[in-house]
Structure 1
Amino acid sequence: AVASAAPGEPGGPGGPEARGDEAAVRGRRRLSLLGAGIALPGPLDHARGVLHRVTGFPEWDGFPLRDALSRRLGVPVVVDKDTNAAALGLAVGGEGGSFAYLHLGTGLGAGLVIGGSVHRG
C-alpha cells in the first residue's frame, strides 16, 4: 500500500519539509511501499499472475504481469480478477460470512466469499 500525507503533515504540502523544520523531518518515519495488488477483468491465472484473454486487452494474453511488476517495483505483487478483489474488499471491510459479489458491466462476473475467504474454482 502507498500512504500519502495530508496538508500540513510530514510529507504533505505545507508540512515540515516545506517549512524547513529539519528536526521534524529527521524524526519522521519513512513510508514505504509494502506490496501491490492489481485487479483486472478475467480470465487470468491468479496463482502464477499471468493474464489470459483479458477483456478489452487481447494483446496481453499470456503476459506474466505479476512477475513483471514485482521486478519493476521491487515488492510482492498479487494479481486477481476484479470481482474477486471487490469481494475480498467487502469481506475485509466487515461484510462477513459467506456471500457472492455480482458485477454486471461489459460482461457478467462474480466473486464468491465463503467463511470470510475468497473461493476460487
Structure 2
Amino acid sequence: MTMNRPRWILLALALSFLVVGVADAFVAPLRGKDYTAFDVVHVFLISALCYMWCRADGWERGVPAPGRSALLAGVFPVLGIPIYFFRTRPWRRALLLTLGATGFLAMSLVLAAVGTLSIEFVRG
C-alpha cells in the first residue's frame, strides 16, 4: 500500500513531535521559560507542515484551498485546520475531521511526552 502526499506530511508531523520530545530531554529550558530552543523551532516546523498538508490535501482531492484557509492553517493551526475543513467539506464531514484532528493533536502530544520520558527513564 502506498501513501499519498498528505499522509506522508501527517506522518512527518507526528514524528516531529517524537523527535522534539527526545531532543528536549537533552537540552535545558531557556532561561526563565518552560520550553527549549527545539520547541521554538518546532512551532515553525508545525506551521510549515500544516500549510503543506492543506495544500497537498486540496491538490489530492482536486479542490483548491478557498481563500487563505491554507495560510491560516499554517499561521494558527488550532483555528486554521477546522476552518479549512469547514470551507472544503460538508459540515458533518468537517465536524468529524475536526474531532479527528483534535485526536491527532492529543496523540502527537503524547508522542512528545513519550519521547522525553523514555530518555529520562534510560538516563536514570
TM-score range with shorter-chain normalisation?
under 0.3
Larger Rg computed on CA atoms? 1
Q: Considering Cα pairs closer than 8 Å and 6+ residues apart, tell me whether 1 or 2 has the greater RCO.
A: 2
Using the size of structure 2 for normalisation, the TM-score is 0.27
> Normalized against structure 1, the TM-score is what?
0.28
Greater fraction of residues in helix: 2
The structure in which a higher percent of residues are strand is: 1
